[in-house]
Amino acid sequence: MNINQLLCADIHTMDDDALANYADELRRTILHHAKLYYVDDAPVISDYDYDRLYRALLELEKAYPSLDDPASPTKRVGGAPLDKFEKVTHTATMNSLTDVFSYDELREFLDRVNKNVPDAVYSVEPKIDGLSVSLAYVDGVLWRGATRGDGFIGEDVTQNIKTIFSIPLTLPEPLTLTVRGEVYMPRAVFERINEKREAAGQQLMANPRNAAAGSLRQLDPAVTAERALDIFIFNFQEGNLYLDGHAPASHTETLQRLSDLGFHTLEHQICAESAENIIAHIEQLGTLRDELAYDIDGAVIKIDDLASRRKLGEGTNTPKWAVAYKYPPECKQTKLLDITVAVGRTGVLTPTANLAPVRLAGTTVTRATLHNMDFIRERGIMLGDIVSVQKAGDIIPEVVCAHPEKRDGSEVDFPTPTVCPSCGARVFRDDNDGAAIRCTNAACPAQFSRAIEHFASKDAMSIDGMGPRVVDLLLDNHLIFDAADLYALRVEDLEHLERMGKKSAQNLVDAIAASKTAGLERVLFALGIRNVGAGAAELLAARFCDLDRCMNATVEELCDINDFGQITAESVVNFFSQEKNRTLCDKLKAAGVVLTAKAAPKDADLAGLTFVLTGTLPTLSRDAATAMLKAKGAKVTGSVSKKTDYVVAGEAAGSKLTKAQELGIPVIDESELLQMLGANTPMQESLPL
C-alpha cells in the first residue's frame, strides 16, 4: 500500500488476518521512513505524513490489543544512531512528545490534564525544527554532548558541539547537570551555504533541519564550525540547577535559570491557562514562521508547574503532561509565470513551473515540479494561474493545484510538446513508463549532458567537482563527446575555461583519475542502464565479476540472479546490444578504468557466505552492517532463499525472518554478527550523574 492507502484503510471491514497484515505494513512503512529521517537524513515524506502514520498504528494497537508487538515502532522513541561516533547511553531517556493535529485534539488533552490538575497553567512555545541533543556538565565544565539517537542510545558529538558558539564551555557556577536542547541552522546561514554550493556546482542542501543534522555529524569539527550552527536549550534532565541542591518549581523558572547560566533559551514562550489563549498563541507563532530566523514545525504545550508534571507522570514513550501541536505542511499561493521543459538522461520530458518568488518551508522558491503533462492536464493548470505550492517531504517544491476562481482572462493553456526542446526531434508518449513523453533522438544533447552528470555523480563514479556547470563547459567547448572522454582531459585543456583556473583544473583531473578504481558495480550504475539502480548494479557485479561477462549475459542468466526481474534483465541485454554502448565500454577499458569487481581481501574469513539483513539492528545501520560484511568477503542480498547462509534479524524483522525459519536458515542477532566479524560491540557509556 502507498501512504494514502494506509491512512485511508477501513479497519472495521478487515478480518483478523487482514488486520495483522495491515499492522505489519504500517510498522514496515514507519520503520523505513524513520531510518530515512533519523539515520540517513534523507526523508522522502513530510513530518506531517509520518506523524499520521505513527498515530494510525498507535490507535490500531490500542483498539486491537492482540495486534500489540513488543518490536513495534510505537515502543520506541526514534531511529537508531549512526556508527560514525562512539555510542552514549542516556541516563535519562530523551522521550518524544505526543502529537496533536487539530484544536479538538488539543482540547481533549487539556481536558484530561485539567481533571487531575485543575486550573493548570501551560507553557506554550515554538517547536524548533532541528536536532535534539543533551549537554552534560561536570563541575561547571562541558563534559559531553550527545545526539538523541533512538532516545536511549545516542552519539558522542562533543567536539562538534563545542563549535557552536552559543553553547557555554563553562558555566558561571560549578554545577553538575545535563540539559537538553535543539541544534538548528539559521535560515540565513543555510541560504548562504547553498549559494556557495550552487556556484561551485555542488548538490544543494535540502532544508535547514537536514543541514543541521548533517553538519553536527561531520567527522571533522572544522567543517561543523564553518556551518555556524546554533541551539536553543529548553529544559534540564539531570542534576541540580542550584548549588544548594534545590530545583526550580516551574518550567518558566527553569528557563530563566538556564538563561542566567548563559544558555540560549527559547523565544516567544508564554504561559496561558485557557484553551482560547493557548490556541491564540499557536496561531500567532504560525504567522511568525516566515519572520523567524529559524524553522519551526509546530508548538509545544506543556504544564508549567513541575510538581504537577510529576503527578501526571510519563507514558511508555511520551510524557502525559505535554503535547506538540503540528502545523500541516506549509502551502502557499503564487503566480505561475511560465513552464519550462527539461530533458532527462533517458529522454523523458519533465515540465517545471517558473514561479513568482515565494517563501516556503525555510527557503525562497522560484521553481517547482509539475511532474508530467498528464498532471498539468488533469488539474487544468494554465500559464498565468495562481497556484498552490508546497514542499513534498518538506524538500522538493511541487505545484499542488491551480485556482481557476482567481483568473482574470489572461491565462492560456500550455501546449503538450510535440518535439524535443533540446534537439527538435519528434517525441512520443511511452505508456509503458508511466505515460512519460520521451525524445526519440538517442543523440539528444540534453540527454547526453544529463548522462554525463549521472556518470560523475556521487553514487556512480563520484567525480568531485563535476557538476552541471562543469559538464556544460566541457560540452560547449567540445572537449568531451562521451563519458570515456573525461579520462583524456588534461590540465591544459581545462585551466582556461570560465571560472576554472589551474588549481581547479588540476583538482578535477585528479578526481577523474581517482575514479578509475571505483570498481565494476559503480561503473555499471554510472552507465545509466535503464531500470538498473545502485542495488541492481551491485548484484550484476557480484554475479559476473567483469564487464565483458555482463555485456554478453543472456536474459535467462540475468533472471537467475536473486532480486533480478525480467524487465531489468531485458534492459541490460538491450543496453549492451547497442553498438554505441559497447564502444563506450571499450573506450573506458582503454582509458584504464577498472572494469572488474573488487575482490574480497585474501584473509576474508566470510568469503562465499551469503547474508540477508532484516529489521532494525540496535546500533548498526543497514549500510554499516553491509559494508562490514562485504569487507570480510561475504555477499549481502535482499531476499531469503535456500542459498542464504545466515539471516541477521533486528527489530520488526517481518516476513524475511519467517521465511528463514521455514527454510531452516540460521538466524543471528547483531551481537552474534559482530562476533563473526571479529568486531567489538560499540562503546555504550553512561553519564556520571
Residues that are catalytic: 127
Residue 41: phi and psi, rounded to 5, are 55, 40
Q: Which of 257, 233, 251, 269 is nearest to 306 (CA)?
A: 251
> What 8-state DSSP symbol labels residue 102?
S
What cell numbers appear for 453 in the block? Answer: 552528470
CB 548 within 8 A of CB 522: no
Q: Identify the bridge partners of residue 128 per DSSP, sorted by sequence position.
A: 296
Give the integer Cα–Cα distance in Å for 153 and 113: 30
Write 470-479 long-range contacts (CB < 8 A, 24+): 470/201, 470/508, 473/497, 473/498, 473/500, 475/445, 475/448, 475/449
Give the amino acid at 471.
V
Bridge partners, 358 (sequence order) = 365
Three-class DSSP labels, 534-574 = HHHHHHHHHHHCEHHHHHCCCHHHHHCCCCCCHHHHHHHHH
d(C-alpha 333, C-alpha 397), whole Å? 12
Which cell goes with 6?
A: 494506509
Cβ(648)–Cβ(613) under 8 Å?
yes
Backbone dihedral angles phi then psi of residue 604, each to the nearest 5 degrees: -65, 115
CB 303 within 8 A of CB 311: no
How far is it, in rounded angstroms, from Cα 14 to Cα 408?
Answer: 49
Cα 386 from Cα 363, distance rounded (Å): 20
- Amino acid letter, 357: P
- β partners of residue 411: none
In angstroms, rounded to a whole number, what is the distance separating the alpha carbons of residues 104 and 110?
Answer: 10
Q: How far apart are CA 185 and CA 21, in angstroms?
A: 40
Residue 285 has which C-alpha cell?
Answer: 507563532
Q: Strand pairing partners for 341? A: 351
**CB-CB neighbours of 590 under 10 Å:** 11
Distance CA 158, CA 178 (A): 13
**Residue count of the chain:** 689
Q: Is 78 helix (H, G, I), strand (E, B) or coil?
A: coil
Instruction: Measure the CA–CA gap between 62 and 66, rounded to whole angstroms.
Output: 9
343 phi and psi angles, rounded to 5 deg: -115, 125
All cell numbers assigned to 661: 525459519
Contacts 24+ apart (CB under 8 A), 318-323: 318/95, 318/96, 318/97, 318/98, 319/95, 319/97, 320/113, 321/113, 322/97, 322/98, 323/97, 323/98, 323/99, 323/100, 323/106, 323/109
What cell was used for 138?
Answer: 561536570
